[in-house]
Chains A and B, each alone.
Chain A
Amino acid sequence: MDWGALHTILGGVNKHSTSIGKIWLTVLFIFRIMILVVAAERVWGDEQDDFVCNTLQPGCRNVCYDHFFPISHIRLWALQLIFVSTPALLVAMHVAYRRHEKKRQFRKGDQKCEYKDIEEIRKQRFRIEGSLWWTYTSSIFFRLIFEAVFMYAFYFMYDGFRMPRLMKCNAWPCPNTVDCFVSRPTEKTVFTIFMIAVSSICILLNVAELCYLLTKFFLRRSKKAGNSKQQPNHEDKEETKQNEMNELISDSCQNTVIGFSS
């Protein structure tokens, strides 16, 4: 179970996302997860082995490393990416639930009838409206919260986003204040800034998606209110057409059953 498996799981969610959501997912996988796996893990690979302190006192190096790096950048990013990508599974679960309900409705008819339709149900893309809209919006909201929390945690733990070359340590058992040198500080600073920048882009994309969904919602509502005054029948809507088709199909299935049994 690794990033590839997460990609497989989330790839399915992609179908039911908005365009901005699809862009966000691409940015997440290419500019964050891939960079983490392919580049950043190498940079931080020797972080403890090459953390050198100007002392021969056994244990001083361990203690100073632990004092300055309570949790490594790499692990924090891994946790951030896991938490940020999992709200999308709420949407996947909701879609699966809707599909299950539709399949149940079709199964009330004849077996021959349902075979083709189940395939259609499986392939069908659900519109983001009704309760699915709320689930989707909540997932975006959670994503934003997790991104913000992790960025704050980063800033709080490492006093800004720059990696210093030298750290002064006087934790026990170090005899006095001891100079400790971090390995590859500039490269680490570069990658930290890169990941922060991409994280900010993801936050912007999420905010844009939220605005887009809200705008769509209000537009649809005002259209509905306007239409209900002018035209009582909503024959032009795709949703109503779909409902009618569903009714016709289930009616014809029942008729076929009655026809066969008699």
Chain B
Amino acid sequence: MNWAGLYTVLSGVNRHSTAIGRIWLSVIFIFRIMVLVVAAESVWGDEKSAFTCNTQQPGCNSVCYDHFFPISHIRLWALQLILVTTPALLVAMHVAYQQHQEKKLLVLTGHGDAKHMEEVKKHKMRIAGSLWWTYVCSVVFRLLFEAVFMYIFYMLYPGYQMMRLVKCEAYPCPNTVDCFISRPTEKTIFTVFMLVTSSVCIVLNMAELVYLVVRACARRGQHNSNPSSAKGSFYGHKHSSEYKQNEINQLLTEQDGSLKDMLRRNSGLQEKGDRCSAC
């Protein structure tokens, strides 16, 4: 399991994301993970071996390195990227659950053939109902993790700048000893780069949150203003598959309860359908 494995897992989530969510995922994979793997890891590769202290005292080098770098930037970024990308799996799980429910419903209504099952797998879920809440939670968690890690970075390495020289007086160093860090400028450049991309991701997440909230409010406003016309159109419309899908989604999202309730509603739907064909 490596970054490529994570990419495979998250590519599936991409389908059920908003447009902003897809852009966010591309930024994460290309400008953060790829830069980390391809460039940053080689910059920090010799961070311990090239950390030199002006002393011959055995152990002083190791102790000073450990004192100034409790956890390396590379490992912090790796943790950050893993934690930031995993809330998307909540959405993937919810979508899988909804698809499972839809398949069960189709089997019960007598449409359990392979073609309909494939159709359930392939069609894109609308971000509405409980899926909306799951999606919003995942975005909130992403934001939280990004902010927490940026704060941790700031606490551990104040100012985000890598110094050339650090003065160390931890035991067993005899006095205050000068220690020199390897490639400080290059490390500062990459730290700033990763910080900027992290900020871009935070902005994208906020934009996605605002977009979802506005969409939900707009949909609610539309629903409230047209309750009667919806019923009228239900009796008069042609049986489009999109409408049927919306009905199924609504059934599934409104009913978090048992299968019996679904069956009850389903038979009610069939009655309505018969009435409609008689019109």
What are the residues of chain A within 8 A of B38 when measuring CB–CB?
A: 2-3, 78, 82
Interface flag for A126 (CB, 8 Å): no
Interface string of B164-201 (1 = CB under 8 A from A): 11000000000000111111111001100100000000
Our pick among B4, B37, B53, B185 for the contact of A70 (Cβ within 8 Å) is B185
**Bound CA–CA A199/B35 (angstroms):** 20
Question: Which residues from 29 to 76 on chain A have a C-beta closer than 8 Å to any C-beta of chain B?
Answer: 48-49, 57-59, 61-63, 65-66, 69-72, 74-75
Most B CB contacts (10 A, CB to CB) among A5, A48, A49 go to: A5
Our pick among A66, A82, A257 for the contact of B184 (Cβ within 8 Å) is A66
Instruction: Give the bracket for the number of chain B residues in contact with chain A.
Output: 35 or more
**Bound CA–CA A257/B179 (angstroms):** 79
**Bound CA–CA A49/B49 (angstroms):** 10
In the complex, the chain A residue whose C-beta lies closest to that of B54 is A58
In the complex, the chain A residue whose C-beta lies closest to that of B179 is A59
Q: How many residues of A contact B (CB 8 A)?
A: 38
Interface flag for A261 (CB, 8 Å): yes
Query: Least Cβ distance of B80 to chain A in Å?
Result: 15
> Does B189 lie within 8 Å of A71, measured CB to CB?
yes
> Does B43 lie within 8 Å of A75, measured CB to CB?
yes
**Bound CA–CA A79/B46 (angstroms):** 20
Query: Least Cβ distance of A4 to chain B in Å?
Result: 8
What are the residues of chain A within 8 A of B165 when measuring CB–CB?
A: 59, 63, 173
What are the residues of chain B within 8 A of A3 when measuring CB–CB?
A: 38
> Does B180 lie within 8 Å of A59, measured CB to CB?
yes
Surface stretch bound by A, among B62-70, B140-148, B208-216, B238-246: B238-246
Interface flag for B31 (CB, 8 Å): yes
A1-B34, A257-B239 known; A49+B29 contact, CB < 8 A: no
What are the residues of chain B within 8 A of A110 when measuring CB–CB?
A: 241
What are the residues of chain A within 8 A of B29 when measuring CB–CB?
A: 1, 5
Interface string of B14-39 (1 = CB under 8 A from A): 00000100110010011101110111
A62-B181, A63-B164 known; A6+B189 contact, CB < 8 A: no
Query: Least Cβ distance of A262 to chain B in Å?
Result: 9
What are the residues of chain A within 8 A of B19 when measuring CB–CB?
A: 97
Interface flag for A107 (CB, 8 Å): yes
In the complex, the chain A residue whose C-beta lies closest to that of B56 is A58
A3-B38, A82-B35, A173-B178 known; A49+B186 contact, CB < 8 A: no
Interface residues of A (CB under 8 A from B): 1-3, 5-6, 9, 48-49, 57-59, 61-63, 65-66, 69-72, 74-75, 78-79, 82, 86, 89, 93, 97, 107-108, 110-111, 173, 254, 257-258, 261
